[in-house]
Chains A and B, each alone.
Chain A
Amino acid sequence: MNYVRISVVFYLTAETWGGHDAGSHQFTGIAKYLNSYTFTGRRNCVLATYAGIAVIFLYLKLKPKKKKAVATK
């Protein structure tokens, strides 16, 4: 009974006070790193979004421009 009480208190404490990455053990695969529930997951999502925007911007900036064929007069 005391064991159950302690584990419930620990669970409630971790979940209520948002203990660092509380509950991160339940995510598997890519969701462990990219999710919207833990601080680490949210941080990684933010960094991934910024990286994606940077990649798109660099691609549009650096892509070779097609030269139009000059019409012969």
Chain B
Amino acid sequence: MMVSFFDQFASPVYMGVPLIAIAIALPWVLYPTPSSRWINNRLTTMQGWSINKFTNQLMLPLNTGGHKWALLLTSLMIFLITINMLGLLPYTFTPTTQLSLNMGFAVPLWLSTVIIGVRNQPTIALGHFLPEGTPIPLIPVLIIIETISLFIRPLALGVRLTANLTAGHLLIQLIATAVFVLMPMMPAVAILAATVLFMLTLLEIAVAMIQAYVFVLLLSLYLQENV
């Protein structure tokens, strides 16, 4: 059997059962449900505090109509950040390396912001295609550019997350393989590669959190324009 570096991105299937369903459902098991008690334990209290803080920060630029999206955006953020972080464990599968999953999030959510804008405030939604204060000769060009950029948004959202996670995992596997291969032959170089691997892992932890945040932040910005 030929083993390639891309086998880690193959959607796992066991006896005909797609295991990606378990990979997607697992993050929810890790978070305790807040109880009806007045004072919860430390973990639940910290969880509630951090979720409230994040939601408050995300909803600051949005008006009251946008606050309806608080639950959706916060749960999406928790989902993505948990999946990304779990994917950094060895021998785990990362669902967010699948373009289909990320496009499945990006396209409907982006489209719903556009539909909300066109339905509730069509003049302002159309007005966003032309930046304020554009010189007259540039108006047609900029309108075309802005229209193209509107339709590229969902593509960029999905591909950004996919590419960042895929590239990071691939790099980790490449450098880890290099360390294993070099260890018996050139231990000094292997230790250097291991140092690089350690720093790359730290970077990937940051990327996992940042990319989840960027995804949700951009969606909130698109919502801000249209709500």
Contact = CB atoms under 8 A, between A and B. Distances in A.
The dominant DSSP class at the A interface is helix
Nearest to B122: A43
B132 A42 contact: yes
B123 A45 contact: no
Interface residues of A, number: 13
A36 B140 contact: no
A45 B123 CA distance: 11
Interface string B147-164: 000000000000000000
- Of A39, A46, A47, which is in contact with the most chain B CB atoms at under 10 Å from its CB? A46
B176 interface: no
A49 B139 contact: yes
B61 interface: no
Interface in B95-134: 122-124, 126-134
Contacts, number: 41
A16 to B, nearest CB: 14
B140 A37 contact: no
Contacts of A53: 144
Contacts of B122: 43
Contacts of A40: 123, 127
A19 interface: no
A49 B147 CA distance: 11
Interface in A33-73: 36-37, 39-40, 42-43, 45-47, 49-50, 52-53
A48 to B, nearest CB: 9
Interface of B: 122-124, 126-136, 139-140, 143-144
User: 7 nearest interchain CB pairs?
Assistant: A42-B127, A39-B127, A42-B130, A36-B134, A43-B126, A49-B143, A46-B129
Given A36-B135, A39-B123, A43-B122, 8 more contacts: A36-B134, A42-B128, A42-B130, A42-B132, A43-B126, A46-B127, A46-B129, A49-B143
18 contacts: A36-B132, A36-B134, A36-B135, A36-B139, A37-B132, A37-B133, A39-B124, A40-B123, A42-B129, A42-B130, A42-B132, A43-B122, A43-B126, A43-B127, A45-B139, A46-B126, A49-B140, A49-B144
